[in-house]
Structure 1
Amino acid sequence: MKPFKAPSVVSAQSSHASQYAATSEPPAKKRRISSNDSTDNKIEAVTAAANFLKKPKPTKRFQAPAQRKPLDVVDNPSGSSPIAAPEKGSEGYFTVLWRKFTAKKNKTWDGDGVLSVSGGYASLQDISGKEMGRTACKGPLLVGSELSVGGKEIEVESMIPKADFLAGRPFLGSMKKQPAPVPSLKEIDEVSRVTNKAQAKHDKIVASQKDKPNVEVAASKASKSSFKAPLLNNTVQAPKRDSVVPIPRHNPSAEGSLVMKRPRSVPKGKQIVDVVIDPILTKNLREHQRAGVAFMYECVMGMKDYDGEGAILADEMGLGKTLQTIALLWTLLKQNPIYGDAPVIKKALIVCPVTLINNWRKEFRKWLGAERVGVFVAENNKTRLTDFTMGKSYSVMIIGYEKLRMVQADLQKGGSIDIVIADEGHRLKTAQNKSALAIKSLNTERRIILSGTPIQNDLAEFYTMVDFVNPGLLNKYTTFKREFETPILKSQQPGATAKDLEKGEARSSELANITGMFILRRTAEILSKYLPQKTEYVVFCRPTTAQASVYRAIIGSPTFNAALGSPAISLELINVLKKVCNSPTLLLKKSAKGEDITKPALLECIPQGLLRTPGASGKLQVLDSLLHQIRTMGDEKVVLVSNYTSTMDVLASLLNSLDYKYLRLDGSTPANKRQDLVDRFNRSPPSKDFVFLLSAKAGGTGLNLIGASRLVLFDLDWNPATDLQAMARVHRDGQKRPCFIYRMLTQGALDEKIFQRQVSKTGLADSIVDGKSGASGFSKEELRDLFTLDESPDCQTHKLLGCKCGGTGLLAPEPLEEPSPARNDLASLGQDDSGFVSLDDEAPTEVIHMDYDSDGEAILPVKPKIKLQKGNQVDMTAQEAEIERRKRECIDSAGKTKMLSLMQYAHFDTALIKARAEQKPEGASGEVFWGDEEPPEPELAVETADPLEAAIEDDALRNVLREDGARIGFVLTKTST
């Protein structure tokens, strides 16, 4: 019913059209009021809107708005600053959220991921390192940016520093400690099926074990007041009544006291008290042992930067790992850093090889006596396990690995075990190890591994041991393998790119930093001031004629070519050749039993008379002479070690033929008699027990055979740790004599190749892994070289070193400093001994040396003229050979020369003995003089001295080297003082 109004002449549409035509741009939108705008602006906007609504409606005709200038663009600040992706060619790394494409209204994210941008492409990985897709990325990436990669929607969450990405930290998660998964009954028993009833019973025991409270029964005041310690040397401080300050168990201010680190926090209403190691133990601890106890204490108490309570004590043999562990356990059993609380642990479990059970029992009695701590030993079926699990008399239990598997269910039924010590813990290097699963089933968080050998032999084994002591710290093995093991191995390949090297070194460094917080490794060098001198000899024994003939017959048989293509046959052929190196008679005895089908085929190519030749082993001949010299020269005893029972039988026959009294310990020796054999040998004189015949696999770890001062390692093992453990049996605490270690190997044969591989592994000990181990790791060319018999008089190992010492038995001089840039060009051309660089045969050019005047100013020499050789005069074959020779002698940039550790030895060539004897006139002795010549001048005495006297300090070995027959070709010597 409103009155009619005529429409305006100018329409709004034409007005807008003309505006667009004038500006050629759409009108700018009004600025949105964000949450970050000031309060005043918001108030003004609200007031203006209210006033506008109060105004009456206009009655005049509508007019088109005047043309206005577009609004200026104003940045709308957000909560976080944008992060732009790097331009093409550079790199950037981000944490992201990802999900699969979905049409759901309420979308959720499926997981976390890592996005790496490089060269204009973005690659997506999940948190375990698995590749999920790759796409082009052109625009900048901001926090909150979304894009599609590999069929996944992703949203950028934050940026990762490049150093963190290269180190692999995003794939380790938050490093929060996860509860260790309890193994199922199938895993423990290694069966494919178990009954539901048995599994339910197992789960019930585990649940009750986990939820069982630790109730401390408080003693009455009357019992406390009437109790008196029966110890003669009581170091416990009596608590003072009404004392405000907590009183430690032992005096922290006493001389030589060892006080543990205090915790960072304390429960409300509690006080911190010092934890002090018992002075009875402290007075026997050396400096490195004090540090070891403090290190393990901080680890098991959770005071380190990693979230865990496990540790690995990887000290070398002889450093006192047992004493350090006893000191730690005794401290945790009696003290707590929180004043008024119960001791940290009540029950401790020590798992060790059966050969070391009695040794552990003796060590507890030696350091703590029989009255301080109750030690329960589970070594037979007569002992009642409930005496430990349910009773209060025993706080420590010692058990073998095999026995633990049988009683693990009974241990779960009893009281909780607060800490587990795994001695010789390198046995737990596989994920499905029965003993490791049995220990995990106890649900004990505090776990310590003791191992005297380096554990970085294989990254998979390394991960297993780390995950055993600190579960979940390195994430799952699949993630660890993808993000650490594979990049590290890839960076060690010869053709690795610069990017692979950078990533591999970063991952290796990060792995070392993480594990270094709970792995303590010290070498035996710190014992030099406590123990007598030790000298190690590597004796290269030349094979006898019969031995070399048998060796050539085997590698010349048709089976040899078949072995190059079959790993199983290769392994068997290796075992056969190792027996030939020890003694050819081992083949004869082994084939008579008919145990292996490949050996009769090999024996068909060997004349049977060679196998029955007396004295056919070069190593046995040298051992015969060496034992005779040791027996006749003094009252020392010998430990004779072998890795094989059949070889020990041959050695026992030799000892019987020489009428030497000996004791034998191998796998067949009952466990309860092994320590008695060790004690008897250490106490008896050489006339009763001259030799201790020891199996490296059965008793080569943990035994103290300090009654002997000489040890002969008759054969070698592929794993250098096995030999190092065996060689440490005599050079231990309590040894009073200088020790001599003899490592015997057959020169030019498989023995020498095994030694080279051992040295290669030892030389790479600073890295985390050596990728090859065992016959399956050999290429076809390596196998062919492995089975080669080198019958040349020179030592193959010494030739591979490229050492220029001449075999004089003197240590090579320390390497000089790197040449200055001014001499690099000349040095690269090759300098001979005369100080000249040979550019051609006619015109050698003298090396440039920098001289200085009296004021210290450099005198620039005149640059010599270099005469170049014509192309048609160059011997290309010789030049290529020289290039290959320099490649072999070159040390790579990382300094990882495979056999560099052999330069720590002095190299003595026994051919010098023969050469000097030929120069002597008949009947002469001592120094060399001819006719009526005058004695040499004093300064020339070194030239005429006997090289054998200077190279070999051991009188027994010197006498063996002087014997006729030249049965020893080369000797490597290393002395530690």
Structure 2
Amino acid sequence: WYVGEKCLAPCLENGKLQEGTISSIEKDKNGKSFAIVSFLESEERKILITKLCRVKASRGPWKNLIFDDGDLEKPYFPDRNLPSPAVAFKLSDNGDFIPYTINRYLRDYQREGAQFLYGHYANKRGCILGDDMGLGKTIQVISFLAAVLHKKGTREDIENNMPEFLLRTMKKESNNTITSVCFQTFLIVAPLSVLYNWKDELDTWGYFKVSVLHGSKKDDDLSRIKQGKCEVALTTYEILRLYLDEFNSVEWSAVIVDEAHRIKNPKAQVTQTMKSLKCNVRIGLTGTILQNNMKELWCVMDWAVPGLLGSRVHFKKKFSDPVEHGQRHTATKRELATGRKAMVKLARKMSGWFLRRTKALISDQLPKKEDRMVYCSLTEFQKAVYQAVLDTEDVNLVLRAGEPCSCNSSRKRKNCCYK
């Protein structure tokens, strides 16, 4: 549920359902969710969320031919326990919220991550999301995209994603104003190994208009993007490098870079390409922003937020050198103290633009680990291969290494003639 949505709520007098509008959503001290519902008689009542029912939308004849009666919600995981109530999560007063279809599966730290991304996007600034691997950076990005693209995760998204000729037909048969123009287009750059995983996740978690700019159809997809028919474009580092001019002909709302630690060398082609891409809002995703030295940290941050840490020479003098000198085993007490101060100052300077949560930090929010051991018998082919390996001379030497040597020296084979 979300603020402004129509609902059916039970009447106090007779228990019959009557239509109202949700004016706010709140929780009590026990964690139960309530909605403040406004009715036609200007009356407001506080009602338990679980007692609300959805208002069935009026359906024209064209709808009956295409859709089932039920809403086609995305995502939907019937076997997964819901960590949160099925209510929308408000990101701003401008009407941007994470739809309830997604929010019900999010954990608190993931909402915080989506809020972090949204805050920087709304202020036209870049940032880095540096959570540990496995904490759902992809899902946090999708939650953010769903909010800024005003997705509902329901039938409404399906209708809005229809081809223009069908939307025009629908508009004639119903008095509603329907538009298919995408005013915002986001570019996601990822390694080829995870490119189609992004496509799968976007399809799982919502109804997004996605184009994969890779392979023989990329020219057609670029044309669709320029016409405003795409919301999210996926491509690789290599394709972006080869067709940079064409990518720069598109006005991107934001660029989101997976495995942003690849932008670690100022002289590398990948770094120069990413810095040449015309887009003010640059969002990086990485679980290992610092791999070898602090100069790599500067390079990634300078791509996302140019000038935040000063020039490379300034960063080396104020942060990199003091910290590295303080980490030497021969460091003096003065160098240790200077290094610690520089690290604290650097962390404070980055705190507003770099968000990192480790698994240890949010262990109370993570589900318990569940191990399942499944024993599988070898197939006939696998048995034959396994036996062939056992019959090799090298394996035979290992298996018989502890036996007495055949030369009757009384020593073991591995210590005598079969070393």
- Judge same fold: TM > 0.5, yes or no: yes
Show the counterpart of 2:53: none
Cα shift at 1:324: 0.9
- CA change 1:501–1:524 in 2 (3 A) is closer
CA-to-partner distance for each residue in 1:812-837, whole Å, 9 max, x for gaps? xxxxxxxxxxxxxxxxxxxxxxxxxx
Check the 8 A contact 1:388/1:397 in 2, yes or no: no
Check the 8 A contact 2:182/2:230 in 1, yes or no: no
Show the counterpart of 2:186: 348
Q: What is the correspondence of 1:238-257 to structure 2 with a 5 Å cutoff?
A: 256-257=87-88
Cα shift at 1:483: 1.6
Cα shift at 1:479: 0.9
Q: Identical aligned pairs, as a percentage?
A: 28
Check the 8 A contact 1:421/1:450 in 2, yes or no: yes
Show the counterpart of 1:404: 240
Check the 8 A contact 1:377/1:399 in 2, yes or no: yes
Pair 1:298 & 2:39 matched: no
Show the counterpart of 1:517: 352
- CA change 1:378–1:531 in 2 (3 A) is farther
Residue aligned with 1:460, SS? helix
Residue among 367, 389, 395 paired with 1:530: 367
- CA change 1:531–1:393 in 2 (3 A) is farther
Show the counterpart of 1:483: 318
CA-to-partner distance for each residue in 1:173-208, whole Å, 9 max, x for gaps? xxxxxxxxxxxxxxxxxxxxxxxxxxxxxxxxxxxx
What is the one-letter code of the residue matched to 1:277? I
> Highest Rg: 1 or 2?
1
Check the 8 A contact 1:385/1:410 in 2, yes or no: no
Residue aligned with 1:316, SS? coil
Residue aligned with 1:464, SS? helix
CA-to-partner distance for each residue in 1:593-628, whole Å, 9 max, x for gaps? xxxxxxxxxxxxxxxxxxxxxxxxxxxxxxxxxxxx
Check the 8 A contact 1:351/1:401 in 2, yes or no: yes
CA-to-partner distance for each residue in 1:540-581, whole Å, 9 max, x for gaps? xxxxxxxxxxxxxxxxxxxxxxxxxxxxxxxxxxxxxxxxxx
Cα shift at 1:456: 5.6
Residue among 90, 93, 103 paired with 1:259: 90
Q: What is the correspondence of 1:843-862 to structure 2 with a 5 Å cutoff?
A: none
TM-score (norm 2): 0.59
Q: What is the correspondence of 1:427-826 to structure 2 with a 5 Å cutoff?
A: 427-455=262-290, 457-525=292-360, 526=362, 529-533=366-370, 634-635=375-376, 657-658=385-386
Residue among 307, 313, 327 paired with 2:129: 313
CA distance in 1 between counterparts of 2:299 and 2:383 reads 43
Pair 1:334 & 2:165 matched: no
Show the counterpart of 1:281: 102
Cα shift at 1:350: 0.7
Residue aligned with 1:292, SS? helix
Check the 8 A contact 2:102/2:143 in 1, yes or no: yes
CA distance in 1 between counterparts of 2:182 and 2:387 reads 56
Cα shift at 1:385: 4.0
CA-to-partner distance for each residue in 1:33-76, whole Å, 9 max, x for gaps? xxxxxxxxxxxxxxxxxxxxxxxxxxxxxxxxxxxxxxxxxxxx
Show the counterpart of 2:402: none
- CA change 1:226–1:507 in 2 (3 A) is farther
- CA change 1:364–1:294 in 2 (3 A) is same
Show the counterpart of 2:255: 420
CA-to-partner distance for each residue in 1:622-641, whole Å, 9 max, x for gaps? xxxxxxxx9xx81399xxxx
Cα shift at 1:255: 5.6
Cα shift at 1:495: 3.8
Check the 8 A contact 1:332/1:345 in 2, yes or no: no
Check the 8 A contact 2:97/2:150 in 1, yes or no: no
CA distance in 1 between counterparts of 2:340 and 2:210 reads 46
CA-to-partner distance for each residue in 1:696-734, whole Å, 9 max, x for gaps? xxxxxxxxxxxxxxxxxxxxxxxxxxxxxxxxxxxxxxx
Check the 8 A contact 1:421/1:447 in 2, yes or no: yes
Cα shift at 1:474: 0.8
What is the one-letter code of the residue matched to 1:657? V
Cα shift at 1:655: 9.7
CA-to-partner distance for each residue in 1:485-504, whole Å, 9 max, x for gaps? 11111222334344333322
Residue aligned with 1:350, SS? strand
CA distance in 2 between counterparts of 1:377 and 1:421 reads 14
TM-score (norm 1): 0.27
Residue aligned with 1:397, SS? strand
Check the 8 A contact 1:455/1:462 in 2, yes or no: yes
CA distance in 2 between counterparts of 1:345 and 1:295 reads 22
Residue aligned with 1:293, SS? helix
Residue among 218, 224, 233 paired with 2:71: 233
What is the one-letter code of the residue matched to 1:405? R
CA-to-partner distance for each residue in 1:347-401, whole Å, 9 max, x for gaps? 1111111111111111111111xxx321001220233243343122211111111
CA distance in 1 between counterparts of 2:332 and 2:214 reads 55
* RMSD value, Cα: 3.5
Residue among 352, 362, 375 paired with 2:210: 375
Cα shift at 1:296: 1.5
What is the one-letter code of the residue matched to 2:113? G
Q: What is the correspondence of 1:952-967 to structure 2 with a 5 Å cutoff?
A: none
- CA change 1:301–1:367 in 2 (3 A) is same
What is the one-letter code of the residue matched to 1:392? G
CA distance in 1 between counterparts of 2:347 and 2:182 reads 30
- CA change 1:430–1:659 in 2 (3 A) is farther
Show the counterpart of 2:222: 386
What is the one-letter code of the residue matched to 2:229? S
Pair 1:357 & 2:189 matched: no
CA distance in 2 between counterparts of 1:659 and 1:377 reads 46
- CA change 1:401–1:527 in 2 (3 A) is farther
Residue aligned with 1:468, SS? helix
- CA change 1:470–1:509 in 2 (3 A) is same
Residue aligned with 2:248, SS? helix
What is the one-letter code of the residue matched to 2:347? A
Check the 8 A contact 1:387/1:394 in 2, yes or no: no
Check the 8 A contact 2:188/2:235 in 1, yes or no: yes
Pair 1:322 & 2:160 matched: no
Check the 8 A contact 1:314/1:454 in 2, yes or no: yes
What is the one-letter code of the residue matched to 2:367? Y
What is the one-letter code of the residue matched to 2:97? V
Listed as ranges, the gaps of 5+ residues in structure 2 are: 1-59, 74-84, 152-180, 389-413, 415-419
Check the 8 A contact 2:240/2:273 in 1, yes or no: yes
- CA change 1:385–1:432 in 2 (3 A) is farther
- CA change 1:416–1:497 in 2 (3 A) is same
Check the 8 A contact 1:345/1:419 in 2, yes or no: no
CA distance in 1 between counterparts of 2:120 and 2:211 reads 26
- CA change 1:445–1:226 in 2 (3 A) is farther
Residue aligned with 1:334, SS? coil
